[in-house]
Structure 1
Amino acid sequence: MVSGLAAALAEASSPLWSRRARAGRDLASFADDPDVAEVLAGLLLDVEDTAVTRQTAEALTRVGTTGAMRLVARAVAEADDNQADWIQTGVRDAFAGTGGGPDVAAVCGQLARDPEAAVRRGAAEMSGWADDTGR
């Protein structure tokens, strides 16, 4: 599995958007690892292709851990309007899949008390998204 993780980390810096998007999906379950979290944060705010942003946000939302959603919340706070729209689309895509997504509202409630102001701002915005989808 370590070789799979190493390969995904390498793909995160690929010039091909499809490989970066795959890296976001493959790395999402490792969001609690600080080194991986840094890479995922970059993929969420990918400046070259919004598909990377969308697919990484969807994968992290499907994972649904506090660490994964903390990354999404911080990205929402730091994103420009276009990136934020695609992050929101990725979060909503996670709900549309089989079985739906995790209880984002509950995780956002936890993140509302995060020590980092950007995370609290992003969580507040994401709470509205969760309300819109009934989650």
Structure 2
Amino acid sequence: MMSGLEAALAEASSPSWTQRVRAGRDLAFFADVPEAAEALVGLLLDVEDTAVTRQTAEALARVGTMAAVRLIALAVAEADDNQADWLQTGVHDAFVGADVVPDVAAACGKLARDPEEVVRRAAAEISAWADDTRR
């Protein structure tokens, strides 16, 4: 029998966008696991369906850990303008109707000291998105 992580990893490469969305949600809790992180960045930059990008970004922002937000930052650094818009929308969605507001800004603050410049720059952008949402 497959573990939750193994099942989600298998769904991440599914031809079905709904299964990829589910994989993004399920894998968000494993953002610090290298295999999951790689799959999550792929889902954030999904070229076939923007719903996968948006909902994976939302799931990671809701988790709100430094590892989860770092994956969004890595995707932002690689995203084209359209993907970046959907990543931003996903981050915004994490704040809408949330009983517990994710502390994306705190994770971005920690990522401001990340060794990779592209992560630092993207984290600053994500922090601005989070600030816009709270206004």
Q: Same fold (TM over 0.5)?
A: yes
In the superposition, the TM-score normalised over structure 1's length comes to 0.94
Unpaired stretches in structure 2, ≥5 consecutive residues:
none
Letter in 2 for 1:134: R
- Give how far 1:69 is off: 0.4
CA distance in 1, matches of 2:116, 2:98: 33
CA distance in 1, matches of 2:35, 2:24: 13
- Give how far 1:18 is off: 0.7
Runs of 4+ in 1 over 4 A off after TM superposition: none
Aligned residue for 1:42? 42
Matches within 5 A, 1:1-135: 3-134=3-134
Letter in 1 for 2:36: V
In the superposition, the TM-score normalised over structure 2's length comes to 0.94
Report the CA distance shift for 1:88/1:30 in structure 2 as closer, same or farther (over 3 A). Answer: same
Contact map agreement 1:24 1:59 (CA 8 A) in 2: yes
- Tell me the percent identity: 76
- Give the SS at the match of 1:62: helix
CA distance in 1, matches of 2:126, 2:104: 8
- Give how far 1:2 is off: 5.5
Q: How many residues align?
A: 135
Which 10-residue stretch deviates more, 65-74 or 103-112?
103-112
Unpaired stretches in structure 1, ≥5 consecutive residues:
none
CA distance in 1, matches of 2:32, 2:105: 19
- Coordinate RMSD, CA, aligned: 1.5
Letter in 2 for 1:84: A
